[in-house]
């Protein structure tokens, strides 16, 4: 599934979720001044709002106009007589983003292209895994991980050498593109990839390669936007 489609699915889910915790944004949308917080679920709202901010911060490196508008609504929330009005405007921003994606008026196209290409390679690696070719799959997955780190360095304007492999790229990106936990996990996958590339095939098993596949797939999806 293409990256745009995955994000569109998330946006649709968030848009459809809002009336479930703030029902008056639908029932009273034609009577805006009377919108209330009747049956408003604050816990579900907090979860929803956090998911929205997480998604918007990941799009266009957190520099999109949609995120700016959303954060502006955060600041204006106390000016409204109900939280539901704030939710109503935030949903409108999500709808605007959805339209922009559907009409092709958004996103860093070079990163999207990379994500799609890497996705195709990972599909090939999945096929190899299904046929028990764990070693070839591990090398392919490692290549995708290394290429993704290069793209992230470019995205964050970090200088690197064309000869840099996973470890130096990973060190450059720590605390700039991701935290120490992700940094340590990438070290683990880099070591597995190196074992596969140097013929140390008995040092790992197919389940570890499968775990690497799932992790790298999510890493690509989350970062190349």
Return averaged pLDDT per consecutive 10 residues of the chain, 225 residues in all.
77 92 74 69 91 83 79 79 84 88 62 53 80 87 86 86 90 91 95 90 93 90 72
- Among 102, 126, 144, the domain-final residue is 102
User: Whole domain around residue 50: which residue ranges?
Assistant: 3-102
Interatomic CA distance for residues 67 and 97, integer angstroms = 10
* Rounded alpha-carbon distances, angstroms, from residue 82 to 22, 28, 151: 10, 12, 43
Asked if 124 and 210 sit in the same domain, the reply is: yes
Asked if 113 and 219 sit in the same domain, the reply is: yes
Provide the 10 A C-beta neighbour count for residue 94: 20
Asked if 118 and 216 sit in the same domain, the reply is: yes
Q: How confident is the model at residue 60, as a pLDDT?
A: 65
Bridge partners of 178, per DSSP, are: 174
- Tell me the CATH number at 190: 1.20.120
Interatomic CA distance for residues 71 and 95, integer angstroms = 16
- Among 80, 102, 124, the domain-final residue is 102
Asked if 49 and 150 sit in the same domain, the reply is: no
Q: How confident is the model at residue 180, as a pLDDT?
A: 93
Asked if 138 and 159 sit in the same domain, the reply is: yes
Q: What is the pTM of this model?
A: 0.51
- Among 102, 137, 170, the domain-final residue is 102
Asked if 96 and 134 sit in the same domain, the reply is: no
How many domains in the chain? 2
Helix, strand or coil for residue 144?
helix
Q: How confident is the model at residue 108, as a pLDDT?
A: 53
Q: How confident is the model at residue 212, as a pLDDT?
A: 93
Q: How confident is the model at residue 112, as a pLDDT?
A: 46
The separation between CA 91 and the C-alpha centre of its own chain, rounded to angstroms, equals: 19
Q: How confident is the model at residue 113, as a pLDDT?
A: 43
Asked if 125 and 67 sit in the same domain, the reply is: no
Asked if 199 and 181 sit in the same domain, the reply is: yes
How many CA atoms does the CB half-sphere of 96 hold within 13 Å? 14
Asked if 69 and 18 sit in the same domain, the reply is: yes
């Amino acid at each position: 599934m293409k990256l745009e489609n995955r994000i569109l699915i998330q946006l649709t889910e968030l848009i459809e979720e809002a009336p479930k915790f703030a029902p008056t944004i639908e029932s009273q949308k034609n009577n805006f001044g009377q919108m209330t917080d009747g049956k408003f679920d604050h816990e579900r709202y907090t979860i929803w709002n956090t998911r929205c901010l997480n998604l918007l911060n990941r799009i266009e490196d957190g520099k999109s106009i949609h995120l700016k508008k959303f954060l502006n609504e955060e600041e204006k929330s106390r000016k409204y007589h109900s939280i539901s009005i704030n939710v109503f405007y935030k949903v409108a921003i999500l709808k605007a983003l959805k339209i922009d994606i559907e009409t092709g008026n958004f996103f860093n196209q070079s990163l999207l292209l990379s994500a799609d290409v890497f996705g195709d390679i990972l599909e090939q690696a999945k096929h190899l895994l299904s046929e028990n070719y764990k070693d070839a799959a591990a090398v392919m997955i490692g290549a995708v991980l290394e290429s993704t780190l290069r793209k992230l360095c470019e995205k964050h304007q970090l200088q690197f050498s064309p000869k840099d492999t996973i470890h130096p790229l990973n060190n450059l990106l720590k605390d700039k593109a991701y935290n120490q936990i992700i940094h340590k996990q990438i070290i683990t996958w880099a070591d597995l990839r190196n074992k596969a590339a140097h013929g140390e095939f008995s040092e790992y098993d197919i389940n570890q390669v499968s775990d690497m596949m799932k992790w790298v797939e999510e890493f690509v999806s989350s970062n190349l936007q």
